[in-house]
Chain A
C-alpha cells in the first residue's frame, strides 16, 4: 500500500480542496517520523470525504496539515485555487476562517472558564464581524441550529453540559465564521452510541443547511460509511484505497480494507467473531516504515514483489482506486491477479 499516485484525483477546477503529495515528517530524537508520506486527495463542493484507518495511520495529521497546523513538510494544499502552503501570517489566518476543525474530545476542546455565549462569539470578535448585538444574534441562531436552547445554554459553562451537548457547542463554534470546509476529527468517538447517532444526524442536517463540505476522520468504518460520499482508507501515512462507500464496503479491493471491515463487531450473536480472521500484529513504526508496500508486514497475501516495489494507486473498477499489487477478487481485479500471481518476480 504504498499508495502514492494521483489516479483518483478529479479535475482541479471542480474541486474545493485538492491535496497533492502531502508529506508530514516530524524530527525526533529517535529519528524522523514519517507521519504522512505522499498523500493526494480532493473534495468536490458539498461532498463528504471519509478518512479511515487505525491510530497512527496519519489521518489526523492529514486533517491538521490541510489547515497548516503545522504546515506540511512538502506537497500542495489547494483551497479554492489558492495554495495554502505558500500563505503566511495574516493572509493564512484570514483564509483559515473558511476551514474549521472539530475535535474528538468535546469537553477538553472548550475553555471550562468561559460561558457558552463567549465561546461562540469569540471567533466573530477576533474577526470583527458585526457589533455585539449582531454577534449575539448569530450565536443564538447557531445554538438553535445545533439543537440547544439558546435561553438556557448561553450563560452556562461547558461543565454544565453532557459530552454530546459539548460536542454540539464545538460544532456551533466552528460554524459561526461561516466556513466552507469542516474537518471533523473523530467527532463521535468519545460519545455513547445513542448520542453518536444524534450528532451524526445533526452533522448531516447542518451540511445541507449551511452548504458545507466535510472531511470526516474516524476509525469506525460503519460511522464513516454512514456519512461519506467518498472514502479514503489510510495505512501508515499512505493511501490504500479510495472508493464510494457502498462499493468499498461491498467489494473491498485492498487487503487492509478487508481486514478493517472484518474487525468490526457486529450486533448479531449469529456472527461468531472468533471465526473471522482478524489482522495480526500491530502498526510498524513510522520512524522506519517497511520498504515497498507498507502493509506487507501484516498482509496475508504479501509476496516478494511487495517488498521491493511500492504499489501505485490505480483504478480497478469505476470510481474505485487501490494501491496494491494483488487486489482482491471481483471481475475487474481478477485478470491482474492471475497474470501477476502466475509469474511473481522473485
Chain B
C-alpha cells in the first residue's frame, strides 16, 4: 500500500501540526495477552488464548484463519460484544490508552459507533428488519453526536450516496428486506461510518456476497478508510481478500496468532507451515484445470484441551519430535515478521534443518 500510505502519512502530519520530519503514527489499539474463555459443560473453551498486537491509526490489519480459529471471538472480545455470563476475558485491550476490560459497560457503550464500529458477515440479520434504513443510520448520530433530526437525515442521505447506493432518497424510506444483499451490506457500512469511528471491525464483510459485489464492497471499504484515516481490522478466512488490502496480516490458529507480518513480507516469505498450507489449499486461476488441490489433512484441535506443544503439529507436513514436546513461542524472526514455529519454512540453519518432507510438495525449500 505504498501510495495510500503516503497519503495517510501526510494527513497525519497535518493534523498534528508537525512539519518537516515525518512523525510516528499514533497508536490506536494495543492488545496485550488477551484471553477469552467460554465456560461450557465440557470445560473452559480457550477461544482466544494469549493474543497480543498493536494497531496504529489509519492502518489495516487482516486477521485470517479457519472457522473456529478464534478470529471472530477476538474481534468481539476487543469490542466487548460478548455476553457477560460464562465468558472470562483477561489481559488488556487499550484503546487510545484506556483499558476497555476495566472500564464500565456504560463507558464502553459510548465508544460503540462513535469510536469503533463493526460490520458483520450477514447484513440481513444485523440490520433491524422493522426499522427503515434512515432510522438505522441516524440513530447513532442522534445519540452520540446529539444531531437534530434534520441534520442527521441530511447526513444519512450523503452517506448513502457515498457508499454508492442508487436513488438514496427512496432507499432511506425502505426496509432491509426491500434491498439486495449487496445493498444491505452498503447500508451496514453507512451505519458503521455514520459517527466517523476511528476503528472499524469488518468481520467477513463479503463472505455472503457474490464475487463481483465482493470486489465493490472491499473497494468501498478501502476508499472510506483512506479518506477518513480510519483504522480497520478485516477478519476473513480468505487470504485473497486481505492480500491486496491489508498493511499487516495476522494468521490465527486454534486461538493463537501463529504468524504476523507486513503483508508483502508475509507473502514473500511465508514462515509458518500453517500459512503455507492455507495458501496452497486455495484453487488458483493460473493453475490448469483439474490440478489436484493441496488440502490440509485433519481438523483444528479441540480448544477445551488443546495440545500442549505446537497446536498445528498433528496436521503439519514438516512435524518433528520437538514440535510435539515443546510449545513454540511467537518470535520475531525477522524485523516485523513474527512466527510460532520451531522449524520455519524456508530457513535452513542447523537447528531448523528438517528431515526430508515426505509429501514432496515443499518445493525443495527445506
Q: What's the nearest-Cβ distance from chain B to residue A255, in Å?
A: 12
Q: Tally of A-B residue pairs with Cβ under 8 A?
A: 141
Output the residue of B180, B244, B263 with the most chain A CB within 10 A. Answer: B244
Q: Contact check: which of A162, A222, A262, A265 meets B244 at CB < 8 Å? A: A265
A193 in contact with B215 (CB, 8 Å): no
Q: What's the nearest-Cβ distance from chain B to residue A178, in Å?
A: 24
Interface check B214, CB cutoff 8 A:
yes
Stretch in B49-57, B82-90, B154-162, B281-289 with 4+ CB within 8 Å of A: B281-289
Output the residue of B180, B238, B243, B293 with the most chain A CB within 10 A. Answer: B293
Interface check B299, CB cutoff 8 A:
yes
Interface check A299, CB cutoff 8 A:
no
Interface check B38, CB cutoff 8 A:
no
Interface check B183, CB cutoff 8 A:
yes
Interface check B308, CB cutoff 8 A:
no
A234-264: which residues lie under 8 A (CB-CB) from chain B?
244-246, 249, 259-264
Interface check B42, CB cutoff 8 A:
no
Task: Tell me the complex Cα distance, A200–B211, Å.
Answer: 19
Stretch in B216-224, B317-325, B342-350 with 4+ CB within 8 Å of A: B216-224
Interface check A338, CB cutoff 8 A:
no
Task: Tell me the complex Cα distance, A207–B92, Å.
Answer: 52
A265 in contact with B215 (CB, 8 Å): yes
Interface check A167, CB cutoff 8 A:
no
Interface check A182, CB cutoff 8 A:
no
When C-beta atoms are compared, the residue in chain A nearest to B266 turns out to be A269
Q: Contact check: which of A192, A246, A265 meets B289 at CB < 8 Å? A: A246
Task: Collect the chain A residues with CB atoms within 8 Å of residue B290's CB.
Answer: 204, 226-227
B267-307: which residues lie under 8 A (CB-CB) from chain A?
267, 277-279, 281-285, 287-297, 299
Interface check A196, CB cutoff 8 A:
yes
Interface check A279, CB cutoff 8 A:
yes
B264 in contact with A200 (CB, 8 Å): no
B244 in contact with A272 (CB, 8 Å): yes
Output the residue of B66, B212, B215, B245 with the most chain A CB within 10 A. Answer: B212
Interface check B70, CB cutoff 8 A:
no
A197 in contact with B283 (CB, 8 Å): yes
Q: What's the nearest-Cβ distance from chain A to residue B213, in Å?
A: 7
B211 in contact with A264 (CB, 8 Å): yes
B243 in contact with A249 (CB, 8 Å): no
Interface check A282, CB cutoff 8 A:
yes
When C-beta atoms are compared, the residue in chain A nearest to B219 turns out to be A274
Q: Contact check: which of A162, A274, A276 meets B299 at CB < 8 Å? A: A162
Task: Tell me the complex Cα distance, A229–B218, Å.
Answer: 31
Interface check B241, CB cutoff 8 A:
yes
B186-230: which residues lie under 8 A (CB-CB) from chain A?
210-216, 218-219, 222-223
Interface check B237, CB cutoff 8 A:
yes
Given contacts A163-B67, A223-B283, contact A274 B237 (CB under 8 A): no
Interface check A32, CB cutoff 8 A:
no
Q: Contact check: which of B166, B183, B239 meets A267 at CB < 8 Å? A: B239
B212 in contact with A193 (CB, 8 Å): no
Given contacts A193-B237, A259-B212, A273-B215, contact A225 B285 (CB under 8 A): yes
Q: Contact check: which of B237, B238, B289, B295 meets A198 at CB < 8 Å? A: B295
Interface check B24, CB cutoff 8 A:
no
Q: What's the nearest-Cβ distance from chain B to residue A320, in Å?
A: 14
Interface check A172, CB cutoff 8 A:
no
Interface check B182, CB cutoff 8 A:
yes
When C-beta atoms are compared, the residue in chain B nearest to A192 turns out to be B66
B181 in contact with A55 (CB, 8 Å): yes
B295 in contact with A201 (CB, 8 Å): yes
Task: Tell me the complex Cα distance, A290–B283, Å.
Answer: 34
Task: Collect the chain B residues with CB atoms within 8 Å of residue A220's CB.
Answer: 211, 283
13 A-B residue pairings within 8 Å (CB atoms):
A193-B239, A195-B295, A196-B281, A197-B296, A201-B295, A225-B283, A226-B290, A244-B289, A265-B244, A266-B285, A267-B239, A267-B240, A267-B243
Can you list the 10 inter-chain pairs with the closest CB atoms, starting with the nearest? A265-B240, A197-B295, A197-B293, A245-B289, A278-B215, A197-B281, A198-B295, A194-B296, A263-B215, A273-B244
Residues of A within 8 A of B (CB): 54-55, 162-164, 192-198, 200-201, 204, 219-223, 225-229, 244-246, 249, 259-269, 271-274, 276, 278-283
